[in-house]
Homo-oligomer: A and B are copies of this chain.
Amino acid sequence: LTKRLTISVDAMGGDDAPEMVVAGMELARQRLPHVDFLLFGDREKVEPLLASYPSLQKRCEFRHTDEMVLNEDKVAVALRNKRQSSMRLAINAVKDGEAAGVVSAGNTGALMAMAKFVLKTLPGIERPAIATVLPTISGQTVMLDLGANVDCDGDNLVQFAIMGEVFATNVLGLEKPRIGILNIGEEELKGNEAVQQASTMLQEIDLPIHFHGFVEGDGIGAGTVDVVVTDGFTGNVALKTAEGTAKMLGHFLKEALTGTLLGKLGALIAGPALNAFKERVDPRRYNGAMFLGLNGICVKSHGGTDALGFANAIGVAAELVSRGINEGIKRDMEKFVHNPHEEQAAEA
């Protein structure tokens, strides 16, 4: 029996909010019988939607606010001026212990800034990272950071590696996940200073981590490692490049199969197989970017997703709570005695 838990939800974030959000919660309710909801948003818009899902309503507490964070809001402005927004109140609920985790499909920068400000980082973690699970030829891999930190040093990357390792162990259930640092070659001497430093530290680290070494961009899809560690600039570009490539290839395939009569006929016959293919790479399946390293669970849904995608993001948050990701990170960070700053200072 899974322990009951509450997820707080920002009703107003996302392109098709709040309709998409409430419909996604209904899907999540059916899938996750152990989850209750705490929902923040505009009464006039949200209550009529909730009314159409009586079973959801029974497991959902709704709280009104007419303030909301917009996509075009500057991060600093949202942080300072939108303290009564649905996003901020949903985060506060985690801080106050009313919810075990929060999900929003709103402005990523504002969500990260608010979550960091309200929840703070876990002991030993300087900066939280955005992580997601990606499909690979041999299964799946977790990649981080995906955009929270434009510039990273070796320490940051090592902390990302530890968080990724805990995720792969606790949530993906891998026994000895292989950790790789994204680089432009697999040779030891390649890359910038940050990846060089992180690689040295991970080789010497006092934790039972399986450090594979460097991995190149094509190693992500190949499933060369279970955890891909990178700075937020490179990670964001890599993730979006993969998405763009998938979209382009899907477009080309569709053009080819609809361009000729035989193509159309073949595609019709192979329909179920092609659908299985589409389903396997459906981006909604991988929706839910996790903010790791915060003192509370926070998941960002893609802003353009639909109810199915949003339900998946809720599932991710519930999973992170149930699997005790933060307890795992805390435990590993305590064991991680190595303090490179002190060592470097001593050497200098």
Residues of A within 8 A of B (CB): 135-137, 147, 150-151, 182-184, 191-192, 216-222, 230, 232-234, 236-249, 251-253, 255-257, 259-260, 262-263, 265-274, 276-277, 280-281
Contacts and interface: CB of A to CB of B under 8 A. Distances in A.
A146 to B, nearest CB: 9
| Secondary structure class of chain A's binding surface, majority of residues | helix
Given A265-B269, A267-B270, A256 B277 contact: yes
A341 to B, nearest CB: 22
A287 to B, nearest CB: 15
A217 B248 CA distance: 12
B249 A236 contact: no
22 contacts: A136-B248, A137-B248, A184-B233, A191-B233, A192-B233, A216-B236, A217-B236, A217-B243, A218-B240, A219-B244, A234-B234, A241-B242, A246-B249, A252-B280, A253-B277, A256-B273, A256-B277, A257-B270, A263-B272, A265-B270, A266-B267, A269-B269
Contact of A137 (B221, B222, B251): B251
A184 B237 contact: yes
A259 B262 CA distance: 21
B182 A237 contact: yes
A151 B233 CA distance: 13
Contact of A221 (B241, B268, B280): B241
B262 A276 contact: no
Contacts of A277: 252-253, 255-257
B192 A217 contact: no
A347 B277 CA distance: 58
A223 to B, nearest CB: 8
Contacts of A242: 217, 241-242, 244-245
A188 to B, nearest CB: 11
